[in-house]
A = this chain, B = another copy of it.
Amino acid sequence: MKAQPLPDLSRCAVHTVTTKPWPIGTAIEKYARAGFGGITVWRDTLVGRDPLVVGKQIRDAGLRNTALVRGGFFCYGNEEERAKALEDNRLALREAEATGAPMVVLVCGARPEQSLGESREQIRDGIAELLPEAEARGVVLAIEPLHPMYADTRSAVNTLASANDMAEGLDSPWVGLAVDVYHLWWDPDLYAQIRRCGKNGNLTAFHVCDWRVPTEDFLLDRGLMGEGCIDVPGIRAVVEEAGFTGFNEVEIFSKRRWEGDQDAWLADIARACREAV
Q: Which of A6-14, A93-101, A144-152 contacts B (4 or more CB under 8 A)?
A: A144-152
A17-25, A29-37, A77-85, A210-218 - interface stretch: A210-218
A112 / chain B contacts, CB cutoff of 8 Å: 213, 228-229
A162 touches B188 (CB 8 A): yes
Give, as a whole number of angstroms, the nearest-CB distance from A84 to chain B. Answer: 21
Interface check A248, CB cutoff 8 A: no
A174 vs chain B, min Cβ distance (A) = 24
A residues 97-154 near B (Cβ < 8 Å) are 112-113, 115-117, 120, 147-149, 151-153
A149 interface neighbour in B115, B149, B188, B189, Cβ under 8 Å: B149
B213 touches A152 (CB 8 A): yes
Tell me which residues from 214 to 230 in chain A have a Cβ below 8 Å from any Cβ of chain B. 214-215, 218, 228-229
- Contact of B148 with A214 in the complex, beta carbons under 8 Å: no
Interface of A is mostly: loop
Chain B residue with Cβ nearest A231? B115
User: Within 8 Å of chain B (Cβ to Cβ): is A158?
Assistant: yes
Distance in Å: Cβ of A114 to nearest Cβ of chain B = 9
Report A177-220 residues with CB < 8 Å from chain B CB.
Answer: 185-189, 211, 213-215, 218
Given known A-B contacts A147-B148, A148-B187, A186-B116, A153 and B213 have beta carbons under 8 A apart: yes
B116 touches A148 (CB 8 A): no
Nearest Cβ in chain B — how far from A148, in angstroms?
Answer: 4
Chain B residues lying within 8 Å of A66, measured Cβ to Cβ, are: none
Q: Which of B120, B152, B159, B215 contacts A211 (CB 8 A)?
A: B152
A218 to B120 Cα, complex, angstroms? 25
Check B214 against A152 for contact (C-beta < 8 Å): yes
A interface residues (Cβ-Cβ under 8 A, vs B): 112-113, 115-117, 120, 147-149, 151-153, 158-159, 161-162, 185-189, 211, 213-215, 218, 228-229, 231, 234
- Can you name 17 extra interface pairs (CB under 8 A) apart from A113-B229, A147-B149? A112-B228, A115-B231, A115-B234, A116-B186, A147-B148, A148-B187, A149-B215, A151-B185, A152-B213, A152-B215, A152-B228, A152-B229, A153-B213, A161-B189, A214-B218, A215-B218, A218-B218
Show 11 A/B contacts (Cβ-Cβ < 8 Å), sorted by A: A120-B188, A147-B149, A148-B148, A149-B149, A149-B215, A152-B211, A152-B228, A158-B186, A159-B187, A159-B188, A162-B188
